[in-house]
Structure 1
Amino acid sequence: MSTAIVFGATGVSGIACLRALLQTPVSEYKSILAVSRRAPALDANDNRVKHVNVDLMGPVEIIADGLRKAGGADAAHVFFYSYIAKEEEEDLVETNRKLFSHSLEALAQVATKLQVLLLQTGYKYYGVHKGGEYLATYPFQESAPRHQGLNFYYVQEDMLKDAAKKGGYHWIVSRPNFILGESKGNFMSLAVTLGQYASLLKYLDKSLIFPGSSATYNLPYDFSTANHNAAHQLFLVKNEKAYDRAFNIHDGKPMRFSDLWPKVADYFGLSLDSPPAGDAPDPSKIGKEVVLLHSSAEFAQQNESAIDEYSKKHDLDPSASKYATWEFLDFATSRTWSDQGSLDAARSVGWTKDSDIWGQGFKPVFDAMREDKIIPRSA
């Protein structure tokens, strides 16, 4: 019987981890500490979950005190998902360095029985947010050389390895891509924004317009369903073969937007443009540039009044419009390079499971959004 600590417990990945932990018997985890500013909104009521309300950017002593009072001294496994978005790269690096540093220092003071700390990063490690010369060789391998320039994942992974060596525990890095999931009050997921985009188009009686070009529309991309990621991560922390290693995780095989878009159109009762992805870009731009033809961010901005109208008409969550990350949807659908990582490392330690990108990823998110009144239940 041990304790697990989940940092970033209200995010899409944090909630998925909590749900996975709650499926384990009490004999395995007697206590689960959910570290976040807000209490996580869980489907199940389980007295093993204890909310630790601390600000990870605040004093280390306060973080440590919160963990200590909640029983963090018995922690064997720690899962770290906390993240703060910043527009400027230097600010992004420094903010998330500080966030992780404070957490590691607090754990060093409290969690003296710690066995494994798992840090979730992602495919940005391979330069997918930059493209061109920054991209690693396909399929992305965990041992790929780091790209030039700043990347806060590099900073955090180095910090983790140093802290583990000093603290006498093991480290694991998990690298998913395009995480699909939904968490009440925290909706940083491509699927959530796509659901809002499709709902708005339906309300305005428009077709499901693809923001990018035909190049992006037909490229294969890895997706990582949050529940699948969490199951894999729990598998790793209990597997000695996985210790002190990094692992890609995705749903098993890539999906093209040309396969996804018709499914989304059918779910929301939308027609598709013909051609649905606009014109092909200049071949010299493929793999290097973003080709955005129909900005969803601009479309949402131009239709703010319509968003208010249909939100009131369908009695939606008044904060629903804040849950969309339009710029991320634009970027994800307009890059002219693919995201494909190898699962060889995960398979080598015994991970055999796959997940259905549509049936276990996008569709459940859309269903949950309807249930939570983020989007209308019907047209």
Structure 2
Amino acid sequence: MSSAIVFGATGVSGIACLKALLKTPTSEYKSILAVSRRAPELDTKDNRVKHVKVDLMDSVDSIAAGLREAGGADAVHVFFYSYIAKDEEEDLVETNRKLFSNSLEALAQVATKLQVLLLQTGYKYYGVHKGGDYLATYPFQESAPRHHGLNFYYVQEDMLKEAAQKGGYHWIVSRPNFILGESKGNFMSLAVTLGQYASILKYLNQPLIFPGSKATYDLLYDFSTADHNGAHQLFLVKNEKAYDRAFNIHDGKPMRFSELWPKVADPPADDPPDPSKIGKEVVLLHASAEFAQRHSHDVEGYVRDNKLDPAAIKYATWDFLDFATSRTWSDLASLDAARSVGWTEDNDTWEEGFKPVFEAMRRDNIIPRSS
């Protein structure tokens, strides 16, 4: 029997990975170490999950000590999802370089039985956050040349390959897009932010108008449901054909916001929204000083009147919703690499992605139960 380590265990992807691991028999993993600053909230009685409370920006020795005490020496599989958002690109690169470097060095001290380390990055590898000349050729292939300029995914992937070579273990990179999932306190899920957006507008008696551009509304995008990603990533670490390779992962069929939006509306719309009303008629709710000044009283009332979790409004990233719905290019990647190693599963983006997230948000008192 062996152990697994999940870095970033309280995020949307970390929670999905833990859920996938908990579906395995105890004969496969005797313990699952959840590395994060706070304990993950899981609906399980399985006592294999052990919380390792560390800050990955602290010293390598302190991280190693936490892993060692929890039994990290028996780890054979490591999944890395930790991430710190920064506004400035140079700061983003340096912060996440240190985050990953500290973790790799701590693992080198402790996890001497390590066989595979999987790093989750994403479609930013293909320049989707920049557009224009930065974009890779469609459909995005894992072998696509890197765009010019900074990208912290490039830094981390190079670090991973070097560490794996030195440590004598294998590496895998997983690249999802627009991850759909729910985790209390997580700030990076399109579905979570969309659920808040829709609920607040309903409270304010404003129409649920698509917050982005007409171009974005009609373009095709890959969505990657977190639980689907987690199952795929666990499949990869146990598949020797996947070792030392990168893999795109999405739900299997790209979708347009024009297909999804009528399902988000409450009550459901019979037809897509009037194109003339798609755009910026409704001011997007930013978690910025401007939003705080304009809507703080309304949002406080929304949380209070619906008896929501007092931190409910923090479980969203408004600028991410703005980014996701206001671009003029698609996000489309090939799954040929995943298929080549035996991955055959697909996922229903609405029924298994958005819809369960909204249901979980109601259950966790993040949005009103009537939304």
**Would the alpha carbon gap of residues 210 and 104 (structure 1) be closer, same or farther in structure 2, given more than 3 Å must change?**
same
**Would the alpha carbon gap of residues 85 and 268 (structure 1) be closer, same or farther in structure 2, given more than 3 Å must change?**
farther
**Counterpart of 1:303 in structure 2: which amino acid?**
H
Give the conservation status (yes or no) of the 8 Å contact 1:77–1:114: yes
Q: Distance in 1 between matches of 2:117 and 2:361?
A: 32
Q: Distance in 1 between matches of 2:291 and 2:302?
A: 13
In structure 2, the residue matched to 1:310 is 302
How far does residue 104 in structure 1 lie from its aligned partner after superposition?
0.2
In structure 2, the residue matched to 1:220 is 220
SS of alignment partner, residue 297 of structure 1? coil
- Report 1:55-134 matches (<5 A): 55-134=55-134
SS of alignment partner, residue 353 of structure 1? coil
How far does residue 300 in structure 1 lie from its aligned partner after superposition?
5.2
| Corresponding position: 1:245 with 2:245 | yes
How far does residue 303 in structure 1 lie from its aligned partner after superposition?
2.5
Give the conservation status (yes or no) of the 8 Å contact 2:186–2:316: no
In structure 2, the residue matched to 1:188 is 188
Give the conservation status (yes or no) of the 8 Å contact 1:212–1:277: no
- Report 1:120-199 matches (<5 A): 120-199=120-199
How far does residue 278 in structure 1 lie from its aligned partner after superposition?
3.3
How far does residue 186 in structure 1 lie from its aligned partner after superposition?
1.8
Deviation >3 Å, runs of 4+: 266-273, 276-279, 292-295, 298-301
Give the conservation status (yes or no) of the 8 Å contact 2:197–2:285: no
Q: Distance in 2 between matches of 1:323 and 1:92?
A: 21
Give the conservation status (yes or no) of the 8 Å contact 2:192–2:316: yes
Q: Distance in 2 between matches of 1:323 and 1:84?
A: 15
Q: Deviations over 1:40-62 (max 9, x none)?
A: 00010211011100110000001
**Counterpart of 2:194 in structure 1: which amino acid?**
L
Unaligned runs of 5+ in 2: none
**Counterpart of 1:161 in structure 2: which amino acid?**
K
| Corresponding position: 1:330 with 2:312 | no
Q: Distance in 1 between matches of 2:25 and 2:113?
A: 20
Q: Distance in 1 between matches of 2:268 and 2:85?
A: 30
**Counterpart of 2:335 in structure 1: which amino acid?**
L
RMSD: 1.7
**Would the alpha carbon gap of residues 154 and 84 (structure 1) be closer, same or farther in structure 2, given more than 3 Å must change?**
same
TM-score by length of 1: 0.94
Q: Distance in 1 between matches of 2:82 and 2:257?
A: 29
**Counterpart of 1:296 in structure 2: which amino acid?**
L
| Corresponding position: 1:296 with 2:288 | no
Q: Deviations over 1:170-196 (max 9, x none)?
A: 000000000000012224200001000
| Corresponding position: 1:347 with 2:339 | yes
SS of alignment partner, residue 339 of structure 1? coil
Q: Deviations over 1:202-234 (max 9, x none)?
A: 112221111222111000000000000000000
**Would the alpha carbon gap of residues 375 and 271 (structure 1) be closer, same or farther in structure 2, given more than 3 Å must change?**
farther
In structure 2, the residue matched to 1:208 is 208
How far does residue 271 in structure 1 lie from its aligned partner after superposition?
9.4
**Counterpart of 2:265 in structure 1: which amino acid?**
A
**Counterpart of 1:247 in structure 2: which amino acid?**
F
Give the conservation status (yes or no) of the 8 Å contact 2:262–2:269: no
